[in-house]
Amino acid sequence: MKILIINGPNLNLLGRREPDIYGSRTFEDFFGELKVAFPGVDLEYFQSNHEGALIDKLHEAGFSARGIVLNAGAYTHTSIALADAIGAITAPVVEVHISNVHRREAFRQHSYLSAKCVGSIVGLGLEGYRLAITYFITHYNTRF
Ligand code: CA2
């Protein structure tokens, strides 16, 4: 059972800058914890600061992965191309945001991606990724 986590721009800085908003853990450290917590899952992590690379990854994994957990960072609020990519693939996508985007600037309160995703988890910190994986295990535990 393969579940892919995709993080978008600037999320490689997690744990290194702005800990008041995004926490003080690196994603690499958290990902190690996820692999221990879900030993039966083939978990993969991909991060890119480039919109096209994120789209390529969705195309590459989007017809075979059991589910994709996507934090597209600021592209969430700008990218029709990413929305189209999510709409084009067969794997279900859960949108995750570490911060509560609805409590922040107005421009963060619209997502081009939400309507293409099976659901969204916002504001629960890194816990959102764990919840999304649990959702896929519970609801998509059969072969396509
Ligand atoms: O809350 C989220 O997860 C966001 O997707 C994070 C994006 C932001 O543009 C979205 O509106 C909400 C920004 C990621 C920036 O990550 C940083 C992490 C550490 C230090 C600086 C930036």
Close Cβ partners of 141 (under 8 Å, ≥ 6 residues apart): 1
Give the pLDDT band (50/70/90) at residue 142.
Answer: low
Q: How far apart are CA 98 and CA 121, in angstroms?
A: 8
Pocket of ligand 1 (CB under 6 A): 10-11, 13-14, 17-18, 22, 71, 73-74, 76, 97-99, 101, 108
Task: Enter the tokens of residue 14.
Answer: 């997690």
pTM of the predicted model over 0.75: yes
Opening angle at CA 94, ends 93 and 98, nearest 5: 140
- Average of per-residue pLDDT values in the chain: 95
3-state secondary structure of 111: coil
> What is the position in ligand 1's atom list of the atom closest to the CA of 96?
3
Q: What is the pLDDT of residues 40-53, one digit of tens each?
A: 999 999 999 999 99
